[in-house]
């Protein structure tokens, strides 16, 4: 299974029409079927991969969220955040005995590389692929030379595009290390994961799942239908061609190929650019206007001094270097002393990374951003507050009403005693058991999607453990959605193509007749069946795939 991260069904169709994916076009002519599916909410990779790999994705309300009882922000940009999620998954993984490359979760895979969180505790060096990946690099010097040349070209392309955007007045933000991230993902990681998959197919590894993350990075920065994002699909398509060719020539086991995305992406406008401040600043300003009994206003302050999602990134990279260094002459110990000093002195601060969440040690209110989805927590209590409790407190009631009225916020959802309360600028409604009951004005969910599966997904999201006391969707006009992060393409909430990924599979798998309304359905209809077939000693009937019980999945 090859995942093209964040590529919506509609954008894949656009790329096919432009001739950017010749391999996928050929597969569709040779017996593979393409269909759209609904990924559920949140439309984010941790939720989707947990559902696909384990059939279990409760307790993941966003890419970033807050654990009230532990008083900590969980962010999936940091290994400890993804590990928090992984440690709370108890269902067996469908990748057992197989390989996981460039995924957030391992799915119980035996071999991992560039995988963030694993069931068994392992070092960063091992999560990056360990000695196996180092040997692959040494054994392919031609590919290494190609990576260096492509990296240089990628750097020049990024700087050229940045300069053109600034001259044209189109650049809304510039993350200082994005050029390095672009080279790492678009060149280094893509080449290494392809080499690892080719080796696995040659060896007959029973199940392989790998994510090509390059489109997601470019689409966030340039837009999901941008020339930069769509044109890069040509390189991913070429890697898919290599993998499928190897599967046909050397895969004596007989591989089935499934290509899919975990969610899509919607064109976005930056909240900060549109309104001149971050959502956290908006919340703090509203709180500053609220004075109760002459006391201090509630606080929602930035936490970029010590504990951030990036603060430990530098030290972890240094530790990986230390493990690659010979232990002789005390070099490794010296590098580790430098790691400890780096951890104690420097994180990567807001000067490089824009604000992703707001919280402080005396956090009365915590705000986390996950692209076009934001969560607001009233953190003085560990309990989830009902809407009635929010409105009974003058401080929180004012904040709630101001958020509902803000032009950059399209929906504020809360739990009430009667169900899930939905509030927008033009109306309010109650969502209960997948049915909407209009309270006043217009249905605030109408613009985001009124299909039954959307209603069920929104209700499930708001009721998720660790969801915010208030769940916020960015304002959506039918095309652009407001992103609380500085992004040109966004996903996380409902609205537009972000909830409609694609899946390509052999027609004999019969996915055209299946109901795919959550990432868990990919586990049920595909991965669980192959996992059963590949289990040691499993009878042929266990897979419920009579024509392909002896086949493997890639």
- Place 549 in a pLDDT band, splitting at 50, 70 and 90: very low
State the pLDDT at residue 515: 94
Please check whether residue 538 is in contact with residue 532, taking contact to mean a CB–CB distance below 8 angstroms: yes
Phi, psi angle pair for 322, to nearest 5°: -60, -40
- Place 70 in a pLDDT band, splitting at 50, 70 and 90: confident
Q: Which of residues 259 and 165 earns the better pLDDT score?
A: 259
Cα gap 553→158, rounded to integer Å: 36
Q: Which of residues 319 and 16 earns the better pLDDT score?
A: 16
pLDDT tens-digit map of 316-367: 666 666 666 666 667 777 776 776 665 444 443 333 344 455 554 455 888 9
pLDDT tens-digit map of 190-228: 888 888 898 888 888 999 999 999 899 889 988 999 988
The domain segmentation of the chain, as residue ranges, is 2-56+91-265+497-553, 269-307+356-490, 313-345
Residues composing the chain: 554
Mean pLDDT of 407-424: 97
Span of 147-161, 198-212, 253-267 with lowest mean pLDDT: 147-161
- Place 99 in a pLDDT band, splitting at 50, 70 and 90: very high
User: How many CA atoms, within 13 angstroms, populate the side-chain half-sphere of residue 339?
Assistant: 17
Asked if the model's pLDDT at residue 278 lies above 70, the reply is yes
Span of 73-82, 116-125, 129-138, 285-294 with lowest mean pLDDT: 129-138
Mean pLDDT of 72-77: 87
* Nearest of 374, 348, 397 to residue 279 by alpha carbon: 374
Radius of gyration of the chain (CA): 24
State the pLDDT at residue 450: 92
State the pLDDT at residue 199: 85
Cα gap 70→244, rounded to integer Å: 46
Asked if the model's pLDDT at residue 80 lies above 90, the reply is no
- Place 307 in a pLDDT band, splitting at 50, 70 and 90: very low
Rounded to the nearest 10 degrees, the angle between the axes of helix 45-54 and helix 79-87 is: 40
State the pLDDT at residue 360: 47
Choose the CATH number for 2-56+91-265+497-553 among 3.30.390, 3.40.720, 3.30.460, 2.60.40: 3.40.720
State the pLDDT at residue 352: 39
CB atoms within 10 A of CB 8: 28
State the pLDDT at residue 344: 47
DSSP state of 393: S
State the pLDDT at residue 53: 97
Asked if the model's pLDDT at residue 249 lies above 60, the reply is yes
State the pLDDT at residue 358: 53
Mean pLDDT of 465-485: 95
Mean pLDDT of 448-464: 96
Mean pLDDT of 423-432: 96
State the pLDDT at residue 132: 66
State the pLDDT at residue 496: 96
Most confident of 98-102, 253-257, 303-307, 316-320: 98-102
Cα gap 252→201, rounded to integer Å: 9
State the pLDDT at residue 126: 59
State the pLDDT at residue 361: 45
Cα gap 397→401, rounded to integer Å: 6
State the pLDDT at residue 516: 96
Q: Which of residues 320 and 377 earns the better pLDDT score?
A: 377
Span of 133-142, 216-225, 236-245, 348-357 with lowest mean pLDDT: 348-357
Asked if the model's pLDDT at residue 187 lies above 80, the reply is no
3-state secondary structure 298-323: CCCCCCCCCCCCCCCHHHHHHHHHHH
Mean per-residue pLDDT of the chain: 82
Asked if the model's pLDDT at residue 280 lies above 60, the reply is yes
Q: Which of residues 78 and 343 earns the better pLDDT score?
A: 78
Span of 285-294, 338-347, 348-357, 402-411 with lowest mean pLDDT: 348-357
3-state secondary structure 91-108: CCCCCECCEEECCCECCC
Asked if the model's pLDDT at residue 296 lies above 70, the reply is no
- Place 172 in a pLDDT band, splitting at 50, 70 and 90: very low
State the pLDDT at residue 109: 92
- Place 285 in a pLDDT band, splitting at 50, 70 and 90: confident
* CA pseudo-torsion sign 102, 105, 111, 115: positive
Q: Which of residues 464 and 291 earns the better pLDDT score?
A: 464
Cα gap 15→66, rounded to integer Å: 37
Mean pLDDT of 262-288: 90
Asked if the model's pLDDT at residue 74 lies above 70, the reply is yes
State the pTM of this model.
Answer: 0.82
Please check whether residue 263 is in contact with residue 498, taking contact to mean a CB–CB distance below 8 angstroms: yes
* Nearest of 364, 359, 362, 348 to residue 309 by alpha carbon: 348
- Place 61 in a pLDDT band, splitting at 50, 70 and 90: very high
State the pLDDT at residue 55: 96
SS3 label, residue 46: helix
Asked if the model's pLDDT at residue 522 lies above 90, the reply is yes
Cα gap 318→459, rounded to integer Å: 43
Cα gap 86→89, rounded to integer Å: 5
Asked if the model's pLDDT at residue 461 lies above 50, the reply is yes
pLDDT tens-digit map of 21-55: 999 999 999 989 999 999 999 999 999 999 999 99
Please check whether residue 519 is in contact with residue 264, taking contact to mean a CB–CB distance below 8 angstroms: no
């Amino acid at each position: 299974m090859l995942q093209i991260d964040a590529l919506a069904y509609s954008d894949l169709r656009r790329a096919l029409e432009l001739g950017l994916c010749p391999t996928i076009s050929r597969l569709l002519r040779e017996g593979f079927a393409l269909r759209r599916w609904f990924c559920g909410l949140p439309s984010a990779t941790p939720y989707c991969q947990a559902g696909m790999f384990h059939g279990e994705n409760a307790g993941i309300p966003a890419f970033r969220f807050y654990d009230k009882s532990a008083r900590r922000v969980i962010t999936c940009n940091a290994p400890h955040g993804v590990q928090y999620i992984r440690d709370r998954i108890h269902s067996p993984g469908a990748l057992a005995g197989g390989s996981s490359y460039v995924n957030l979760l391992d799915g119980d895979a035996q071999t991992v590389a560039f995988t963030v969180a694993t069931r068994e505790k392992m070092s960063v060096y091992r999560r990056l692929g360990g000695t196996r990946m180092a040997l692959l690099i040494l054994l392919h010097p031609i590919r290494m030379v190609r990576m260096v040349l492509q990296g240089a070209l990628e750097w020049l392309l990024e700087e050229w595009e940045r300069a053109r955007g600034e001259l044209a007045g189109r650049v809304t933000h510039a993350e200082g290390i994005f050029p390095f991230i672009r080279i790492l993902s678009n060149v280094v990681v893509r080449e290494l994961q392809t080499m690892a998959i080719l080796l696995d197919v040659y060896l007959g590894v029973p199940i392989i799942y790998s994510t090509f993350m390059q489109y997601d990075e470019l689409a966030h920065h340039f837009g999901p239908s941008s020339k930069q994002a769509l044109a890069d699909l040509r390189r991913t398509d070429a890697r898919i061609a290599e993998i499928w060719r190897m599967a046909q020539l050397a895969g004596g086991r007989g591989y089935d190929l499934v290509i899919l995305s975990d969610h899509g992406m919607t064109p976005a406008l930056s909240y900060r650019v549109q309104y001149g401040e971050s959502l956290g600043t908006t919340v703090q300003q509203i709180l500053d206007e609220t004075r109760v009994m002459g006391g201090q206003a509630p606080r929602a302050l930035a936490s970029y001094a010590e504990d951030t999602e990036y603060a430990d990134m530098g030290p972890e990279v240094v530790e990986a270097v230390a493990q690659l260094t010979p232990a002789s002459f005390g070099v490794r110990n010296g590098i580790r002393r430098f790691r400890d000093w780096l951890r104690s002195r420097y994180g990567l601060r807001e000067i490089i990374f824009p604000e992703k969440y707001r919280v402080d040690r005396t956090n009365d209110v915590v705000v986390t951003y996950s692209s076009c989805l934001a969560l607001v927590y009233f953190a003085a209590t560990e309990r989830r507050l009902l809407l009635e409790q929010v409105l009974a407190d003058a401080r929180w009631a004012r904040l709630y009403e101001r958020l509902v009225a803000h032009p950059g916020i399209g929906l504020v959802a809360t739990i009430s005693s009667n169900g899930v309360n939905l509030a927008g600028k033009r109306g309010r409604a109650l969502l209960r058991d997948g049915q909407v009951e209009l309270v006043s004005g217009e249905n605030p969910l109408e613009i985001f999607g009124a299909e039954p599966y959307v209603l069920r997904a929104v209700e499930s999201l708001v009721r998720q453990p660790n969801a915010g006391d208030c769940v916020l969707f960015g304002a959506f006009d039918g095309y652009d959605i407001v992103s609380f992060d500085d992004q040109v393409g966004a996903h996380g909430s409902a609205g537009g193509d972000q909830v409609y990924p694609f899946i390509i599979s052999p027609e004999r798998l019969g996915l055209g007749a299946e109901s795919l309304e959550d990432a868990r359905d990919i586990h049920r209809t595909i991965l669980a069946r192959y996992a059963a077939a590949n289990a040691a000693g499993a009878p042929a009937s266990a897979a419920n795939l009579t024509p392909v019980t002896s086949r493997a999945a890639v």
